[in-house]
Amino acid sequence: MKRRSFAVIGLGTFGSTVATELARFGNPVMGVDLDDKIVGRYADVLSEAVIADGRDELALREAGVGNYDVALVAIGEDLEANILCSMNVKMLGVKAIWVKALSKTHHRILSKIGVDRIVLPEQEVGQHIAQMLHNPLVRDYVSLGNGFHVVDLTVPEPLEGRAVGDVKLLSGYDLRALGAMREGEFLSCEGGELRLKTGDKLLVLGRRADLRRFGDDLLDEA
């Protein structure tokens, strides 16, 4: 995979977490923040760590932000600084721009600016946690867009020995089993012959309403 370079502007909890993870994956990452102490903290972790004001287009240009493939504007709390920085990064010609939004109104403003991806981390994490709190059998889930999700479900004891292809298992839910994880090994569900074991992690594809109903019914059986 071709490595991409990233500029993360705003090294608070969210921005620094993203920046350090990207660096851990082996990507060139530049961190930008106004606070010299924060910048110093990540000087040895990131490829570059620069003290600069995201509201200042010239400062970002001199820092070399325009040379990076992707920019993440992770400035929190200061709405004006976030918007100005997003506009500046766009003016510098960065190919892909991700921005942390502070509210739905902020989201609408960023959409008008034309950034590539708007992130509402608190809302997204909150929805994620609520899904798992609602049903303890749901270990994780991923949104694929257009209403489709993949859910990682823990197989309860009542499904022990049931074949994935059993028409009674997924019929009525409009779902598709993609595979299962068992003791660190991925098992294909192709053909529907795989027999489930208690504790398997079953990966299921479908729309949210069907997945929720299936998960709730599994919980009732558990």
- The model's pLDDT over 43-100, given as tens digits with 9 standing for 90+, comes to 999 999 999 999 999 999 999 999 999 999 999 888 999 999 999 999 999 999 999 9
**Spatial separation of the C-alpha atoms in residues 10 and 56, rounded to whole Å:** 13
> Are the C-beta atoms of 49 and 63 separated by less than 8 Å?
no
The pLDDT of residue 159: 85
| Mean pLDDT value of segment 107-135 | 81
State the angle between helix axes of 104-113 and 79-91 in degrees (0 to 180), rounded to the nearest 10.
Answer: 20
Name the domain count of the chain: 2
Task: Answer yes or no: do 11 and 112 share one domain.
Answer: yes
**DSSP-based helix, strand, coil % in the chain, nearest 5:** 40, 25, 35
Instruction: Report the share of the chain in percent with pLDDT over 90.
Output: 52
- The model's pLDDT over 148-182, given as tens digits with 9 standing for 90+, comes to 888 888 888 888 898 888 756 776 788 888 899 99
The domain that contains 155 carries what CATH number? 3.30.70.1450
Residue 110 inside a domain? The answer is yes
Q: Which domain holds residue 53?
A: 6-119
Confidence of residue 141 (pLDDT cuts 50, 70, 90): confident
CA atoms within 13 A of residue 5's CA, in its CB half-sphere: 14
Task: Answer yes or no: do 73 and 130 share one domain.
Answer: no
Domain C-terminal end among 102, 119, 136: 119
Residue 1 inside a domain? The answer is no
**Spatial separation of the C-alpha atoms in residues 52 and 61, rounded to whole Å:** 10
Question: Whole-structure pTM over 0.75, yes or no?
Answer: no
Residue 166 inside a domain? The answer is yes
Looking at per-residue confidence, does 4 or 29 come out higher? 29
Residue 205 inside a domain? The answer is yes
**Spatial separation of the C-alpha atoms in residues 78 and 76, rounded to whole Å:** 6
